[in-house]
């Protein structure tokens, strides 16, 4: 059965998804949540935190200063109606997808070179430059909108009545790849209330020691 409840932290699972993990893991996600099962390319993956308490963030996300532009600090509120979320809400979305809710998609907006460094398990890579509406190949854009986001083309207009709830992220608060995608979608009429933005992205995800996979 599909679950179409809105994304809210109160709906997070409270049980452990690894047998015995609630007792075995010293570094949990929350006091009541040890790990979360997700699907990545149809394979089950367990998201948990790194148990090595001396672990440090990878060099790719340890850099504090990047040239701006283009690597400028993003606002906390990207656009009216778009909800900025954090790790627990991302995990909740992934859990819903794992449980069969096809109305949600978690999107990694980064280009291939970044994706190869690691991804959030369960996310689908839709690079920002393939969905740069007005700049990208129109046929490719239409295929993404229709086949992955459930937008429909009716009578020469986009129909957003049954679109998916999107959770988008990129590299972190200094990265504009996901925000560019969101702004492009808003310009063609994608409903803002159907968009969630994980501003912290990979930098925050890795800083908390959460599981990543090779892209």
Q: How confident is the model at residue 13 (pLDDT cuts 50, 70, 90)?
A: very low
Instruction: Indicate the class that CATH gives domain 9-207.
Output: alpha beta
Q: Which long-range contacts (CB under 8 A, 24 or more apart) does 95-98 make?
A: 95/12, 95/13, 95/36, 95/37, 95/38, 96/3, 96/5, 96/7, 97/38, 97/39, 97/122, 98/36, 98/37, 98/38, 98/39, 98/44, 98/122
pLDDT tens digits, one per residue of 49-89? 999 999 999 898 999 999 999 999 999 999 999 999 999 99
d(CA 62, CA 106): 24
- What pLDDT is recorded for position 134? 83
CA distances for 182 relative to 15, 116, 143, angstroms: 33, 22, 17
- What pLDDT is recorded for position 5? 39
pLDDT tens digits, one per residue of 170-209? 999 999 999 999 999 999 999 999 999 999 999 999 999 9
Average of per-residue pLDDT values in the chain: 90
Determine if the peptide bond prior to 70 is cis (ω within 30°).
yes
d(CA 49, CA 91): 12
- What pLDDT is recorded for position 133? 86
Contact between 161 and 193 under an 8 Å Cβ cutoff? The reply is no
Region 114-122: mean pLDDT is 96
Q: How confident is the model at residue 3 (pLDDT cuts 50, 70, 90)?
A: very low
Q: How confident is the model at residue 138 (pLDDT cuts 50, 70, 90)?
A: very high
d(CA 49, CA 58): 14
d(CA 190, CA 96): 22
Instruction: Single out the residue of 146, 174, 173 nearest to residue 160, CA to CA.
Output: 146
- What pLDDT is recorded for position 17? 43
């Amino acid at each position: 059965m599909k679950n179409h409840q809105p994304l809210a932290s109160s709906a997070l699972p409270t049980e452990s998804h690894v047998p015995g993990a609630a007792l075995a893991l010293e570094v949990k996600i929350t006091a009541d949540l040890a790990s979360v099962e997700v699907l990545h390319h149809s394979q089950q993956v367990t998201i948990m935190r790194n148990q090595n308490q001396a672990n440090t963030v990878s060099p790719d996300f340890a850099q504090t200063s990047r040239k701006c532009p283009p690597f400028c600090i993003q606002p906390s509120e990207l656009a009216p109606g778009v909800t900025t979320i954090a790790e627990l809400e991302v995990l909740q979305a992934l859990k819903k997808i794992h449980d069969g809710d096809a109305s949600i998609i978690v999107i990694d907006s980064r280009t291939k070179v970044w994706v190869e460094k690691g991804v959030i398990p369960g996310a689908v890579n839709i690079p920002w430059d393939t969905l740069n509406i007005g700049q990208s190949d129109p046929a490719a854009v239409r295929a993404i909108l229709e086949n992955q986001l459930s937008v429909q083309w009716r009578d020469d207009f986009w129909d957003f009545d049954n679109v998916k709830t999107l959770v988008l992220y990129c590299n972190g608060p200094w990265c504009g790849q996901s925000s560019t995608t969101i702004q492009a979608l808003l310009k063609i009429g994608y409903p803002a209330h159907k968009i969630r933005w994980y501003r912290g992205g990979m930098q925050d995800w890795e800083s908390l020691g959460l599981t990543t996979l090779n892209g």
